[in-house]
Every structure is written in C-alpha cells, then in structure tokens.
Amino acid sequence: MHRLTIEVITAMCAWAISAVGQSVSTGRLCPQGGPYNMIELVKKLSPAARIYCPGTEEFEEASIRWSVLEEPKVNVIVVPGTVDDVAETVKFANQRKLPFLAYNGAHGAVTTLGKMDHGIEILMHQLSSVEIAKDGKTAKVGGGTMSKTVTDTLWEAGKQTGKLMITVTGACECVSLLGPGLGGGHGWLQGHYGLIADQFVSMDIVMADGSRTIIDKTSSLWWAMKGAGHNFGIVTAVTTKIYDIKHRDWAIETLVFGGDKVEAVYQAANDHFLTNKTQPVDVIHWSYWLNNLDANPNKPVIIFYVIQEGVKAVDTVYTKPFHDIGPLSAEAVGGSYTDLAEWTDISTSAPPCQKAGLANPRFPIYLELYNVTAQRKAYDLFASAARGSSTFSRSVFMFEGYSMQGVQGIDPESTAFAFRDANLLVAPLITYLPADSDLDKRAAKLGEQLRQILYEGSGRKELRAYINYSYGDETLQQWYGNEKWRQDRLQALKRKYDPEGKFSFYAPIA
Ligand SMILES: Cc1cc2nc3c(=O)[nH]c(=O)nc-3n(C[C@H](O)[C@H](O)[C@H](O)COP(=O)(O)OP(=O)(O)OC[C@H]3O[C@@H](n4cnc5c(N)ncnc54)[C@H](O)[C@@H]3O)c2cc1C
C-alpha cells in the first residue's frame, strides 16, 4: 500500500528531523519507511538539492498553486539543485511507482492536474539561469526560469553592452518560460517572432525513464515539444533565440467603457484591427471585462487597451475610433517594453499573479473575429453572474488581440501547436473562493455557457482551446487540433517516448 496519508508522512518527517536535529530544508531528510522513504534518493542528490515534507513551512509555501481547483496532491517535494537531481528523482519515483510532476510558476490550472495523486513535486526553481551565447543570437535558459527573469536578465546584459536584447516570453511576469512555451506560449513579441515555442533551438530533457537527452529539430520529438511538450519530459534547459530590440519605446492607451458600449467597441475592433487582418505588427489590442466599483458599482466595465511599439504615445489613428464611442475614461502612458506587464495588470505584484487560495478555472476559445451579437449575449450573462457582491464577482473575461504576423508566418504543420490561424485568444476566468462541489459545478456551468455563446457565434465547426488556459474537459481535438494526422502523430510519439504515461497530468494525450 504506497498511498501513505499526509499525516503519516508528516509524522515520519518530524521523526527524521528530531532524530538528527536538523531542519528538513537544509538537511534533506524525510520519511524513513515505505515508498516515500527518501533516504535512498537523498544519497544520490547533489548538496544543493532540497527535500520538503508535509507539515513544514517550506512544504506549505512550495506547494501553493495559483488555482486551488483540482490541484495535484503532493506528498513530498524535491527541489533539484542540478539536472542530475531531476533525473535521479524521476528514476526514484519510477522505482517506487510514485507519480511525479514538475512545478515551475505553479500557474497551470487545467483540472487534469488533479489526477496527480500522492506524488512527488519536482520544484524547478533552483534551475533558474540565463546564459547569453557569445554571438548574441541565443540564450540557454534553465528549466525553472520565470518569464520576468528572462526579460530582466537580457535587458540588464544589454544595458552593459549598449545593445538591448529580448526574446518572446509570456506577457505575464509570474509564469515560467517553459510552462507556457511547451504549449505554444503567447507574448507581446509574437507579432515579430512567433510563439515562445517558435524560439526554441534545442532542449535538455529528462525523459520518462529518468534518462537525460538533448534534442533539436533533427529529433522526431521536436515537433511535439512545441505545443504538446508537457506530455513528454521535464525540460531542464532550453536554448532559445534572442533578438536585438527594434524599438525601445512602447506606449499604451487604456480606455474604460460601460457595458452599454459592447457592440460599438467590438465592432470597432473588428473594423480597425481584425477584418482583413489590418492590425499592424507593432500594435496589440486587449480587453478585460471586470468589476470596477468606482467606474460602475452594478455592472462589469470594459477595460480596453491599445498598445503600440516604437512610439511615446499610441498613434491616434488606432485610438480615435474608440474615443469616438465615448469611453468613461481614457489614459495614455509611455515607457518601455519592461513596463507592459504593469500597465496591463499582470506584473508579479498585480492581483492576477497572486496565489490567494482562489479557484481559477478558465474556458478558452480561439476566434478570428468578434461576433458582436455573441459579445452582447456573453456580456449580459457574465454581468448577471459576476455582478456586485456575487460569488463570482472577482471573475474576469479576457480578450487578447496580440499581433499575429510572426505566429502566422510559420508553417502550421511544423509544430504540435495547431491554431496559428486564429487572431484572438479569449477566455472567461471564473474566480471564486472554493466552498463545495456544487459551487465548482456552478462555476463550470457558467464558464461553459459563456464559451458556448462565443463558439456558436464563431460559426466554426470545431472549438479550439489554448491548452495553457484550458479548463480540463476539452477533447484532444480541441486541445491539439482537429486534423487526424496531428492526433495520430501525437499518439505515436506518446507511445514511443512516454508509453506508461508518466507525463499525463497536463492536458494529457493519453
Ligand atoms: C496570471 C497568468 C498569466 C498568464 N499569462 C500567460 C501569457 O502571457 N502567455 C501564455 O501563453 N500563457 C499565459 N498564462 C497561462 C500559462 O501558460 C499557464 O498557466 C502555464 O501552465 C503556466 O506555467 P507555470 O510554469 O507558471 O505553471 P506550472 O503549473 O508550474 O507548470 C505548468 C505545466 O507545465 C509543466 N512544466 C513546467 N515547467 C516545466 C519544465 N521545465 N519541463 C516540463 N514541464 C514543465 C508542469 O509540470 C505543469 O504541468 C498565464 C496564466 C496566468 C495564471
């Protein structure tokens, strides 16, 4: 019986600590018996590795996730200090028949993660590094590096040489590079260079059996790592393309509208950005529907951003159509690339980044255009469910209109990421304080209804869902593409590289 309860493990940890008189986090001691007896693993780990057991402050802190809905159940945490530590931990878990899961930014929220039952968390944080190649064209990024660390390190290095550098990361600062990147990865620079995954040049991976390998475009696995990568291994480092920045300046205009302007705002977005794909590569439009009690105590407002690269203020040609609609307020700010996350409320200190004990399911859908009638229907439902002091009042409906030229310029068949032709990444995020399964069901019903409205409005046969935002009940076709060849290829690769399904917790292929 290998499913020891948390209580038993805690007791064993406590025994181990008192027996040696050391803290678990520095002494790397843990349970002494059963499959979780970590002594055998400890002998193989580097001095930099850490093991955290339940009942310790370190364990509590290192197991907190952004969404508490259907969380993985963790019994022991290993914090590798080296790549070999990752490999040894995987081998150890396999020997003991224990499930394991890499933790990085811990912002993954797909409910399939909940299938990790009494397993080993492999916390990647010590494998955080950014090494810029001498030719300045690539950087080797450790498997546990956060988005912000990548951007800040490149930026700082550039300041010293006088040549500022960037790469595509997630727009949000609090996610890792690889969590988003293995599923595609959207970010501010994708209009120029494509998705995060499109930047990858090679990868160091710990495979399902604990062996280490380095792959690049010559490997049959390469295609799958760019869109379905969570299913195949733990990436301990990735070499990724970097670029000299084209423009130092960026600017944003934030327009706030009442809900009465839904049709006008999204018609204008269609007319000026989406119909005929006229959104320029250096312009991004985003919007949120959320409650802002100052602006309107009764109904969510529309926060509409127009962002432009290479200017000190957004060109009025892009903002005038929205000013003409009559916003409640408008604010223009200028700065640099590194200000974008703060401007759009997704910096490390912003509320959406925090791990606050909330359930955070999302229900994503990729779209080409806004269907204005569907936007109205969705707004009315969202407003009635999220209004005032209701259970779902912290919810946010997100509409991400990144520029797409870089993404769409890459052969769609060249990656497991399947949805390059879409223009918009849209998702209701139903945020609430968890209570019971009835509430979870109500939240899921609301999210599904909102997505269904937009899906019906899209006129498409198939629903396309970004795996990194997905709820967890989507089909394989909805996650990885409707084409039979894609599904066959993924299944064949899964059989070859992970036949026992060790990496089958995050939007699993099998
Ligand atoms: C506030 C917020 C902002 C977001 N912003 C963006 C954005 O700008 N762009 C975007 O595309 N997505 C974004 N997302 C979605 C994001 O891509 C997913 O939430 C992603 O899972 C987060 O990765 P993580 O490392 O933070 O989470 P984790 O939960 O730690 O990781 C997610 C999954 O990836 C696996 N994993 C992590 N690291 C590795 C590795 N080194 N090797 C193998 N597997 C690994 C984990 O095992 C897990 O299954 C955002 C999400 C949130 C909550």
Between 82-91, 179-188, 240-249, 365-374, the lowest mean confidence (pLDDT) is in 240-249
Nearest-10 Cα torsion for 75, 79, 84, 89:
0
Residue 440 in contact with residue 359, Cβ under 8 Å?
A: yes
**Is the shortest distance between the CB of 255 and ligand 1 below 6 Å?**
no
- What is the pLDDT at residue 36? 67
Kindly give the distance from the C-alpha atom of residue 147 to the centroid of ligand 1, in angstroms, as a whole number. Answer: 10
Residue 261 in contact with residue 330, Cβ under 8 Å?
A: no
Q: Which atom of ligand 1 is nearest to the CA of 104?
A: 30
Kindly give the distance from the C-alpha atom of residue 43 to the centroid of ligand 1, in angstroms, as a whole number. Answer: 31
User: Looking at the DSSP assignment, which residues form a beta bridge with residue 140?
Assistant: 131, 239
Q: Which atom of ligand 1 is nearest to the CA of 205?
A: 42
How many secondary structure helices (H) and strands (E) does the chain include?
Answer: 17, 18
Domains and CATH numbers, the chain: 6-124 (3.30.465.10), 130-244 (3.30.465.10), 249-480 (3.40.462.20)
Give the closest residue (by CA) to ligand 1 atom 1.
Answer: 353
Kindly give the distance from the C-alpha atom of residue 203 to the centroid of ligand 1, in angstroms, as a whole number. Answer: 17
Kindly give the distance from the C-alpha atom of residue 468 to the centroid of ligand 1, in angstroms, as a whole number. Answer: 7
**Is the shortest distance between the CB of 99 and ligand 1 below 6 Å?**
no
Mean pLDDT in residue range 18-47: 61
**Is the shortest distance between the CB of 225 and ligand 1 below 6 Å?**
no
DSSP state of 507: S
- Closest C-alpha to 226, from 194, 191, 272: 194
Q: Which atom of ligand 1 is nearest to the CA of 236?
A: 41
DSSP state of 504: -
pLDDT band of 15, cuts 50, 70, 90: very low
Distance of alpha carbon 190 from alpha carbon 445, whole angstroms: 33
Q: What average pLDDT is seen over the chain?
A: 92
Pick from 78, 107, 426 the residue to mutate for probing ligand 1's pocket: most ligand atoms within 8 Å of its CB.
107
Q: Strand runs (DSSP E) across 402-475, as ranges?
A: 424-429
First to last CA, the chain: 25
pLDDT tens digits for 41-52? 999 999 999 999
Cα 133 to chain centroid distance, Å, stands at: 26
Mean pLDDT in residue range 81-87: 98
User: Is the pLDDT score of 26 beyond 80?
Assistant: no
For residue 217 the two structure tokens come to 């475009």
Give the closest residue (by CA) to ligand 1 atom 49.
Answer: 506
Rg (CA), the chain: 23
**Is the shortest distance between the CB of 300 and ligand 1 below 6 Å?**
no
Pick from 141, 150, 468, 471 the residue to mutate for probing ligand 1's pocket: most ligand atoms within 8 Å of its CB.
468
pLDDT band of 83, cuts 50, 70, 90: very high
Residue 478 in contact with residue 462, Cβ under 8 Å?
A: yes
**Is the shortest distance between the CB of 182 and ligand 1 below 6 Å?**
yes
Q: 3-state class of 80 per DSSP?
A: coil
Higher pLDDT, 411 or 9: 411
Task: Name residues whose C-beta falls within 8 Å of residue 316's C-beta, 6 or more positions apart in sequence.
Answer: none
User: Is the pLDDT score of 393 beyond 70?
Assistant: yes
pLDDT band of 23, cuts 50, 70, 90: very low
pLDDT tens digits for 474-500? 999 999 999 999 999 999 999 999 999
Between 83-92, 132-141, 151-160, 319-328, the lowest mean confidence (pLDDT) is in 151-160
Q: Strand runs (DSSP E) across 13-104, as ranges?
A: 50-52, 74-79, 100-103
Task: Name residues whose C-beta falls within 8 Å of residue 323's C-beta, 6 or more positions apart in sequence.
Answer: 255, 330
Q: Which atom of ligand 1 is nearest to the CA of 66?
A: 53
Name the amino acid, one letter, at 358: L
User: Is the pLDDT score of 18 beyond 60?
Assistant: no
pLDDT band of 31, cuts 50, 70, 90: low
Q: 3-state class of 195 per DSSP?
A: coil
For residue 383 the two structure tokens come to 């407003």
Distance of alpha carbon 501 from alpha carbon 510, whole angstroms: 7
pLDDT tens digits for 434-470? 999 999 999 999 999 999 999 999 999 999 999 999 9
Please state, as a whole number, how many other Cβ atoms lie within 10 Å of the Cβ of residue 449. Answer: 16
Distance of alpha carbon 505 from alpha carbon 472, whole angstroms: 10
Kindly give the distance from the C-alpha atom of residue 105 to the centroid of ligand 1, in angstroms, as a whole number. Answer: 6
Give the closest residue (by CA) to ligand 1 atom 46.
Answer: 102
- Closest C-alpha to 113, from 230, 226, 7: 230
- What is the pLDDT at residue 10? 42
For residue 327 the two structure tokens come to 């916003």
- Closest C-alpha to 52, from 13, 6, 94: 13
